[in-house]
Structure formats: structure tokens, C-alpha cells
Amino acid sequence: MPPVAKQKRSAADRAKGASRAKSGCYTCRIRRKKCDEERDEHDHCRTCTRLRLQCLGFGTKRPEYLRDNDKVNEMRDKIKLHLATNGMIKGHAGTSSRAMDDRPVCVLHEGADSECTPSPESSPQSPAYSLEDDFPNGEYTLGLHRHAVSSVRDDRYYPTCLIGSTSYPKRSTDPDPSTSAFEDPHRPPSDSSALMASSPVSVELPQTFGPEALPQYVSSFGPMYNSWPDDDFAGILGTLDMQAGATMDAYLCAPQMFIPTIPANGVDETLGKYYRRLAKAQFLLADESKFGDILFGPMQGSQLLQKAVGLLSMVDDFRTREPHRRALKIEDVKYQHDDLWRAAINPDGALLPFTTPEVATAAIITVSAHLFDGGRGSWFQWLHIACQWALSILHASQYEPAQALIVCTERNRFLIKTAMWFDVLASVTTQQEPIFASTFREMFDPQSGLCEEGEQEPSIDARISMLDVMGCDNSVVWALSETSCLAAWKANEERNGCLSTKDLVSRAAHIEAALARTPPALDASSSNPVSHDRRLTADIFHAAARLYLHTVLSGAHPRVPDIHHAVRATVDALSRVRSVSPESGAKIVRNTVFAAFIAGALAAEKEVRAEVHGILELGARGAGNCRAVNDLLQSIWQRATENSPSSAVPWREQLAKHEMLLV
């Protein structure tokens, strides 16, 4: 049979196609996809309604806001991110279990004349969730913006999953502007023993969970970060009374049975990405061979952890494409963050009596997501959850904290150390005592017998050493914590008009004596590059801790000789990263942004500032907070040129203002 000639399209067909290309909605044109041109009762494209995209309307002449190519490209990226998140693009697994009709509309342009509104039959009440990373007027918001719960907007909120109570003090007035944004009149002592109940407490949990259970946060580190009403302490961990500690002992010592395997083809690509790369970027100096038991194993059966990894991956993808923009400001990323929060505090529809290792792991991963996004935002609420869980392990048995850390599972030990490290550096930003302040004294005080003495460290059990996870000697962790406590004490005494310089110097003497000891030298014969990187990192933190202490003693004045010398010592330690491989150097810089920031902020000479800027640039590629720290330093330096040379540098105030975590 002879081949049948293909029929040519008629002029009418061609005209129809041409007309359709011009008459499709602008959203489909931006997507470069065919528009079905079917309109719903709101005159919106049904394709956009089905995909939960804002329909930008129809027409032959583009609106003015679509004439900007950069704006159009930004919208196209936003659409791709929205569709990928919901599993609507081949090869991208959706990270949310919610049906599309329950998801918020992806808003492309706030000023568009038409907005995609779901039909009443499909989704009568589809609130647009958002979790703001920048806090206008000092207010942090978590909640339902379209259907606002304004009656609780000014309430101070304490997660009931942590304290098992629903009665909390109301916020009647704004904080006194003369006090720190993180101060709280109800703040308890930092001694962790105050968090432990002396006897079992019956916890009455609410029977319902709805919008009223998610009131908006007050934008203050104090209440959320480490403040709890005294009457509610018993409820935090009271349910962890495990019959004379027997059950807790089994919980602490349970062996890890998971044997890690490399994900095969077909395993969710987000987890595969985490296995291959993100975990290493998250924990730069940790032993990668232990990630299987600590991280990968628990993730395979946990939707909560998969959500957390999905958020981390989304932030990493976005920051890789657009390193100068905040991922957590993008609607779909913010929704994923909010959805994860709801899952963490209420995974099964009933509020948890206490935090679990699964929730603590998700919290730490989410803190890392904020770090990947520049270190700003609502990281403190997640860190608080992880810290409360860690305290429940360290103090809820017959063991002392150091012994509890030794006998617990390797996974728990890793998570506890991570929470402790995040907490001590977070205290620099919050300007309050670390949550683990008393625990650090008990475990790491050089006079406690558990920490290194002199120039050697023969008495340290590797299981309580912070060096192997975070690259910092235990005594330096203790010194950083004590310096934050000293700074908080000094600020309180100054507010009350009763600061004694003699007492200040006396309190600092113990810290200064510990930091005056020479740290262990680098082992030039060591064949393990990770050990070398940890030691170099520890030297940087040692120098930075001395600088931090001098700023508390003398104020943040760059021309004070002790501060000038400490800045030079810290920059010299940082400069040694140029002697290692570029990969190791970038890793060390990203791990020591605290040192770079404090040295740069207190540097008076342009040459030293330029040196710090260049060091931070080594770690500025891709995700992380090196670029954000560099930008903040630029603003501090600009302000310094406008002020008198005798003025103090408001470096901690700037950290607090931008809510930046220097981890």
C-alpha cells in the first residue's frame, strides 16, 4: 500500500492555533504551556485553578508588570518551585501529603487585577499559610493570614507539646524599649535543674487542635527561646519520670541496629541528595561514617524527617540558583516550613507530652535550613525544641549529665552535642544565658575534673568531647557560655545602676585563666585531614573566645589594647585556612563565621577588615551564612566611618536586630 500523504493544516486550523497562542492566560504563557482557555466563574483559567496558580488574566496586550523580563523569569521560577513541591513535575517527588485543593494558591503578582480563587465546591476555606522571616514591628507571625485569629495575635505562646499546659500569661504591653528585645520578666534561672519536676505530674492535654492552637508568636527571643512560666516547669518533662530511672536507662542505652545502605535508584531523590551532599554540608566536621545510624536510618521510616529534609533541599536548591535572595521568603518554601512546624508539634493529631528524638532531629535540620538561607529567621523556636529534648535526656535519669551523655545512644549523643553547640553560639545573638549554662559548668568547667587540664587532654572521654562534632575544645565551649552569662549579668546590673567593676573583673578572671592556657598543638604527623581541620577550627574558636570576653570586660571598643590584640590573634588564626586545601578551607570558614564576624566587627584598620572579608568569601559559594555575615559587616563598617572612633561597635545589637545565628 502506498504511503498516505500527510494532510496539511488548513488555514482555518493555523488561524485557530495562532489565535489560541495569543488568547491564552498570561500564567500559561509564562509557563510556556498550552492554555485550555476554559474559564471558571471567576474568569480564571481552569488549568491555573487546578494547579493552584494565580491566573494573571487574558488579553493580547501584556500588562506593564509583565514587560520586565527579570520579573517574568522570577515568576517562572516561582511556578516551577510550586509545581515541584507538589509533585507536579516529572522526577520531583512532592514533599507534602496534603491534597492540591488544600494547598494555598501560588501568588505571582500582588497587584494583578485578577486572582486565582478556588471554587466554593472544591475548597471553601483554603487559608494562605505564612511564616515570616522578617518581623515588622517586632512581631513574629505563625498562623492563618486569610482567616486571621487576631484574638490571640498578642498572646505569648508556649508550645503545649513541650509543657503540657494551656494556661499561659498574656502579653499586655510591649517590652520596655530600654531593655533588650530578648529580656523577659518571667525568665527562669538558666540552671537546668529548674526544668525538672520533683515528682510525676499529671498532664491534661487539650482535646481539640485547630487555628486556636497556633497563635502568633511575639517576636522576641526571650519568651520563645528560653523562657517558661514558673508554674509550668513541672509539666515540661514531668512525664519522663521513668520509675526510678529504669525505663530511661533502657532508652539511653538502646543499641542502634540500622545498617545503612546507599539509596538505590527509585528512592526519593530528595533523600538521595541529603545522603550524598546535604548532610556533609550540614555537619562539616562530623564523622561521616556515623551518619547512617544517626541520620539516614531514622529518615527511611519518618515522614516528619522527610519533610525536614525536603525543606532543607528546597532552600539549598533556591540559594544555589539565587544566592542573593532569601529562600524562606518564597511562598512555597514558607508553606513547607509552616507545614513542618505543624507536623512537628502535632504529628498524629494529639499534642505530645514531651519531645521525641524524631522531632528533635527535625528541629535541628530545620535550624540548618535557616543557616543555609543566611542564618536569619525563626530558627530560635526550633532550637528551643531541640534543647528541651536534650535536657530531658541529660537530666531525666540517675546519671550525672556527663555520664548520661556517655551511656546514651550514638544518635542521641550526636543530637545533644549539636543542640548544645547551637545553643552556646545562639546566646551571642539572644544576649541571654545559654539554656545549657549550668550543664556546661557541670561538664566542661576546667575545675570540674571532666575537662582538659593544662596543655593535654588525656582525661577527656571522646563521647563527651565537642571537638569531634563541632571542632571546639570543651573548655572553650564552657568559656563561651560563661562569657554570655557574664554579658547578661553585666547588662542587668547596668540597667539597675549597680554594676561593680570589681565584681565584673572578678567574675571574668576564672574565664580568662582558662583561656590563657595554650591549646593543644596541631599534630603535623597526623594523616587524618579531618583531625587537622578540627584542630585548626578549635584554635580559631579559642582566639575568638578571648576576643568575646574582652568585649564584655571593656566594651566593644576597637582601640582598647586587649581587644586590638585579640582581633589580630583571631584574624591570624582564621588566615591559616589558606594553608589547607580550598575544600577544607571553605569548610572551616563556614564553621567559624562567629570568629570572622566578631573579629571583623571589632577591626579598626581597613587592611584587617579586607582580610576578614576575603576569608569569608572563601566560604560564600552556595548555601550558608558567610555572604549574609559579610553583608552585615559591611553595614557595621559603614556605620563606624560615620561615628566617632571612640564609639562602641554595636555588633551584638546588630545580630539581635537581624536575628542572625552565627553557626
Cα-flanking dihedrals φ and ψ of residue 145, to 5°?
A: -75, -35
**Res. 523: pLDDT tops 70:** no
The sign of the CA dihedral 160, 165, 169, 175 is negative
As to burial, measured by CB atoms within 10 angstroms (0-12 exposed, 13-18 middle, 19+ buried), residue 617 is middle
Residue, of 544 and 11, whose pLDDT is higher: 544
This model's pTM is above 0.85: no
Residue 81's identity, in one-letter code, is L
User: Comparing C-alpha atoms, which of 329, 432, 312 is closest to residue 364?
Assistant: 312
More confident residue, 64 or 549: 549
Q: Is the pLDDT of residue 635 over 70?
A: yes
| Residue 125: how many other CB atoms lie within 10 Å | 10
Tell me the C-alpha distance between 84 and 26, whole Å: 20
Q: What percent of the chain stands above pLDDT 70?
A: 66
pLDDT digits (tens, 9 = 90+) for 416-461: 999 999 999 999 999 999 999 999 999 999 876 544 444 444 457 8
Q: Which of 281-295, 510-524, 568-582 has the highest mean pLDDT?
A: 568-582
Place of cell 540558583: 321
Q: How far is CA 211 from CA 127, 129, 142, 149, 343, in A?
A: 11, 11, 10, 7, 14
C-alpha–C-alpha distance, residues 297 and 435, integer Å: 29
**303: which 3 cell numbers?**
515522614
CA–CA distance, 412 with 389 (Å, rounded to integer): 10
In angstroms, rounded to a whole number, what is the distance separating the alpha carbons of residues 576 and 573? 6
For 325, the grid coordinates are: 535572595
Instruction: Report the largest interatomic distance among the alpha carbons of the chain, rounded to a whole angstrom.
Output: 107
Residue 559 has what DSSP assignment? T
Of 368, 456, 469, the C-alpha closest to 413 is 469
CA 584 to chain CA mean position, Å: 23
Q: Which pLDDT score, from 0 to 100, does residue 290 have?
A: 87
3-state helix, strand, coil in the chain (%, to 5): 55, 0, 40
Q: How far is CA 204 from CA 160, 167, 630, in A?
A: 10, 11, 48
Give CA–CA dist 344/329, Å, rounded: 21
pLDDT of residue 117 exceeding 70: no
CA distance 309 to 472: 26
Dihedral (CA of 409, 411, 412, 417) sign: positive
Tell me how far CA of residue 152 lies from CA of 142, 167, 213, 251, 493, in angstroms.
11, 13, 10, 38, 34
Interval 294-302 mean pLDDT:
90
**Mean pLDDT in residue range 294-307:** 90
Q: Please write the tens of the pLDDT for every residue from 485-520.
A: 999 999 999 999 999 999 999 999 999 999 998 777
